């Protein structure tokens, strides 16, 4: 594939390597895959694909034992190899599980090296289960902040949320595999639109324009439908998918990238309907990019993957002398404007005036009717 269209999917650390190794066999052959870890045993699942072992000197092929500083040093010592690996790719998708030492210590550094090598970086990171304890949670949250500042797009998903779709008594290994199906589906659908033969191919430059600013709140979601009305069902599933409601995900995106993948019977009208449903839900006021791909053995199945970004929140103003440590980093919450509250779900949509009245505002608000407050 020409270098400017190429896409590299990287698994970093134990979780990242497992997710990517499980996904690799179902990816289009043009999508390159690389596994990166301090732990040599995680690289053994590469099945002939590219691998890079970090920090041989520091860890001698073992993991970092949960030490973030060791993970960071291990990655830094491998900078030239990382740079060589990332060069020539338009889009690098970095998948990692935060909480341990390798993923948490190395992710932001990898994102920096890939960005410097000219790639757009989309990072996908899992957040530890709540029962994994405070230390992992803290390591993950610090790493997430650092990664968010370096990657063009960052999708953070709590493992607790992923497990919602797995039966309670499934064995752990099966649970992970099933939980990662969502992520796998979204990544597969996204990656597929870059390969030759896509009906409406994706242009990495356009994806870059969507994820132009590091630190932008990112939306990444996925849905699947089958049979009559499959495209619309897939769009609705993507709209409702918990991935879209993860912490840090944006619910109104300025720009949207919608990838629709279906079997040979997928019609243009169906694909457009799916895009319209996604737009209704997530905005896309500035631009919406549609990519469509037909995969013969999909039959009557349709998958919809959505990537979106909104403009980052303005940087908090540094507080004066009396500020407590860390206060300057607190998240800014926007207050709903009166207009957005009045217009509810229709906030941000074009106004629909009939007889001088905005009909998207509920009648009882327009007419200032007081509702009974209960018995």
Ligand X SMILES: Nc1nc2c(ncn2[C@@H]2O[C@H](COP(=O)(O)OP(=O)(O)OP(=O)(O)O)[C@@H](O)[C@H]2O)c(=O)[nH]1
Out of 51, 53, 102, 120, the only residue in the binding site for ligand X (CB under 6 A) is 102
CB of 44 to ligand X, least distance (A): 14
Cβ closest to Mg ion, residue 17 vs residue 278: 17
User: From Mg ion, ligand X, none, which one binds at residue 284 (CB under 5 to 8 Å depending on kind)?
Assistant: none
CB of 19 to ligand X, least distance (A): 6
Residue 295: phi, psi to the nearest 5?
A: -120, 115
- Judge whether 37 and 12 are in contact, CB under 8 Å: yes
Q: Is 39 in the site for Mg ion (CB under 5 A)?
A: yes
CB of 2 to ligand X, least distance (A): 33
- Binding pattern to ligand X, positions 125-164, x when CB under 6 A? -x-xx--x---x----------------------x--x--
User: From Mg ion, ligand X, none, which one binds at residue 346 (CB under 5 to 8 Å depending on kind)?
Assistant: none
Out of 10, 27, 36, 38, the only residue in the binding site for ligand X (CB under 6 A) is 38
Q: Which stretch binds ligand X (CB under 6 A): 9-17, 186-194, 255-263, 327-335?
A: 9-17
CB of 65 to ligand X, least distance (A): 6
Cβ closest to Mg ion, residue 18 vs residue 250: 18
Q: Could you tell me how many residues make up the chain?
A: 375
CB of 103 to Mg ion, least distance (A): 8
CB of 140 to ligand X, least distance (A): 7
Q: Is 101 in the site for ligand X (CB under 6 A)?
A: yes
Q: Is 63 in the site for Mg ion (CB under 5 A)?
A: yes
In the block, residue with structure tokens 């090296």: 113
- Judge whether 38 and 23 are in contact, CB under 8 Å: no
Footprint on this chain of ligand X (rule: CB under 6 A) = 13-15, 18-19, 38-39, 63-64, 66, 71, 97, 99-103, 126, 128-129, 132, 136, 159, 162, 176, 179-180
């Amino acid at each position: 594939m020409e270098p400017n269209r190429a896409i590299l999917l990287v698994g970093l650390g134990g979780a990242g390597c497992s997710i990517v190794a499980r996904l690799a066999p179902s990816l289009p052959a043009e999508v390159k895959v690389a596994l990166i870890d301090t732990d040599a045993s995680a690289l053994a699942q590469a099945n002939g694909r590219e691998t890079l072992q970090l920090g041989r000197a520091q860890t001698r092929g073992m993991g970092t034992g949960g030490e973030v500083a060791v993970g960071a040093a291990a990655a830094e010592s491998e900078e030239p190899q990382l740079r060589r690996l990332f060069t020539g790719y338009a889009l690098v998708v970095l998948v990692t599980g935060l909480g341990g030492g390798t993923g948490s210590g190395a992710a932001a550094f990898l994102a920096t090296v890939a960005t410097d090598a000219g790639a757009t970086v989309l990072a996908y990171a899992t957040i530890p289960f709540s029962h994994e304890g405070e230390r992992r949670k803290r390591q993950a949250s610090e790493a997430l902040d650092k990664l968010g500042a370096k990657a063009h797009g960052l999708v953070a998903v709590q493992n607790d949320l992923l497990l919602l779709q797995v039966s309670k008594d499934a064995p752990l290994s099966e649970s992970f595999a099933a939980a990662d199906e969502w992520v796998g589906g979204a990544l597969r659908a996204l990656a597929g639109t870059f390969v030759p033969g896509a009906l409406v191919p994706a242009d990495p430059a356009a994806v870059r324009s969507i994820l132009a600013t590091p630190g932008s709140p990112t939306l990444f979601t996925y849905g699947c439908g089958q049979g009559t009305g499959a495209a619309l069902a897939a769009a609705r599933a993507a709209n409702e998918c918990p991935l879209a409601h993860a912490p840090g995900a944006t619910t109104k995106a300025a720009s949207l990238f919608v990838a629709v993948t279906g079997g040979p019977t997928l019609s243009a009208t169906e694909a457009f309907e799916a895009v319209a449903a996604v737009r209704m839900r997530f905005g896309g006021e500035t631009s919406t990019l549609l990519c469509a791909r037909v995969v013969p053995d999909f039959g009557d199945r349709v998958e919809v993957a959505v990537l979106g970004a909104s403009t980052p929140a303005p940087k908090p103003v540094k507080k004066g002398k009396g500020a407590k440590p860390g206060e300057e980093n607190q998240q800014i919450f926007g207050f709903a404007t009166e207009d957005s509250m009045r217009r509810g779900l229709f906030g941000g949509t074009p106004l629909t005036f009939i007889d001088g009245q905005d009909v998207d505002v509920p009648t009882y608000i327009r007419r200032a009717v007081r509702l009974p407050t209960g018995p």
